[in-house]
A and B are shown apart, each in its own frame.
Chain A
Amino acid sequence: MSFLDYLQIALPKIWIGLQITFKVSLICLLIGMLIGFPVALARVYGPKWLRWLVTAYVEIFRGTPVLVQLFLIYYGLPQFGITFSAFTAAYLAIGLNSGAYQSEYFRGAIQAISSGQMMAARSIGMTRMQAIRYVIIPQAFRFAIPSWSNEAVSMVKISSIVYLIAVPEMLYVAKVLMSKYYNPMQTYILVGLVYLLVIGAMTLLLNEIERRTTIPGLETARRGS
């Protein structure tokens, strides 16, 4: 079978796998952001007990392999009668893991904002919550974009581990194709190229977002203070 013939068989299947890769990555990134941002705020502005609690969460999820977290949720919890579908387990494990990492990126961004910003906001009578909402968050999001882009890109790759619990994403499809046609070289190069294209496109998109949200002088303000 020529490579072109193989492409005709393989690409439609890889396309289906890619869609699942996308779905898992996006949902996990979103869960991670919904967890990560409040966790970062709690770590910087929260009361002591809350800071302690969220720090424990971050350290546990950063300090253990994501694969262990995935297996614990998918294989471990059923021992206690808590059963998830493969997809749900994937969203939970990788989403929680990403939340821990994302919170660190957001925390760095929040702490890069000069303390004078909060002081100025309070001095005109804003409450702490208002200051966080109108002054801290808009700046923190902008500062976080470069490191958050890293997380988004690595998520697309890391999400491939869910093939180990039989979620039929792109790498899973590749494995099936390979065992059927015995051509690991062609298959993995093909899949590798698809990852490269997808990540290239994402990088361009994220750079564009960064460019469009840039505020003149904000970068200098960050470095200066």
Chain B
Amino acid sequence: MPKSDKLIVKIENVHKAYGREQVLKGISMDVTEGEVVVLVGPSGTGKSTLLRCINQLTVPDSGKVWVNGVELTNPKIDIDKARQHIGMVFQDFNLFNHLTALDNVLLGLIHVLGMKKEKAHDKAMLELKRVGLANKCSNYPGQLSGGQKQRVAIARSLAMEPIVMLFDEPTSALDPELIGEVLTVMKDLAVEGMTMICVTHEIGFARDVCSRIVFMEYGEIIEQGNPDKMLNNPDLPRTRQFLGKISELH
């Protein structure tokens, strides 16, 4: 895994509340280039909210977020432009339902990056090939399996040449036997050196490829460290209890 000290994502004291419920209680975190960070924790502890606070699909109440040196929490910046290069993959895929797999990948290339049709087409096919779905390019989302949909969604993000990829429980909505094909794509990405932040309970993925596991609960980071330490010898009993439980399941 290529590593450098270049800071890609910096999160500083981010708070977010929905009504009275404090979902994020002052999260700070740095992610450097090529790092693969896995966020784990019980449901409802703000993992997905934190992910969405990074690309500002959810705007934090306070705190700051930088991606590639640009402060995204600054209201003066062009957030649409910043989002172009922050890939995001969703639990329920969110492929554009009226477009074929190819057009799903093309849409951003043409309308966001302003690429010429032919060049965009080649690029989109390349990305579909990368996730092993070139032969499904003319299928609509309704004609793809869950695993295929998620791979197209990954291709759609990759086509925009992201500097960081955010994965929000990418395999939670999948049938067990389709999880593998998505994890394979994600592992390949990690090996290629993509900076990734993943909310997932796929402990196998975390053990094999991630550089850091971050354990969150009640809107706070409880403990973090490399997978070896976190899975085998964590500092806190709560971390051991939680990670032990999900290791049994996966």
Contact = CB atoms under 8 A, between A and B. Distances in A.
B157 A217 contact: no
A218 B92 contact: no
A216 B143 contact: yes
A124 B108 contact: yes
B245 interface: no
Interface string B89-116: 0101111111000000001100110000
Nearest to A120: B94
B94 A217 contact: no
A51 interface: no
Interface string A99-131: 000000000000000101101111111110010
Interface in A120-172: 120-127, 130, 134-135, 138-139, 142
29 contacts: A114-B94, A116-B92, A117-B94, A117-B96, A119-B90, A119-B94, A120-B94, A120-B96, A122-B83, A123-B157, A124-B84, A124-B107, A124-B160, A125-B80, A125-B83, A125-B84, A126-B80, A126-B111, A127-B80, A130-B111, A135-B107, A215-B142, A216-B140, A217-B140, A218-B142, A220-B142, A221-B97, A221-B142, A222-B97
Nearest to B140: A216
Contacts of A139: 97-98
Contact of B95 (A120, A123, A222): A120
Nearest to A219: B142
B81 interface: yes
B55 interface: yes
Given A119-B90, A123-B57, A217 B80 contact: no
Contacts of B160: 124-125
Interface residues of A, number: 26
Nearest to B103: A134
A193 to B, nearest CB: 40
A79 interface: no
A5 to B, nearest CB: 55
A215 B140 CA distance: 8
Q: What is the interface of chain A mostly: helix, strand, loop, or mixed?
A: helix
Interface of A: 114, 116-117, 119-127, 130, 134-135, 138-139, 142, 215-218, 220-222, 225
A217 B149 CA distance: 13
Contacts of B111: 126, 130, 134
Contacts of A220: 142
A126 B108 contact: yes
B151 interface: no
Interface string B153-186: 1001100100000000000000000000000000
Given A125-B85, A218-B98, A221-B97, 5 more contacts: A114-B92, A120-B90, A120-B153, A126-B111, A217-B97
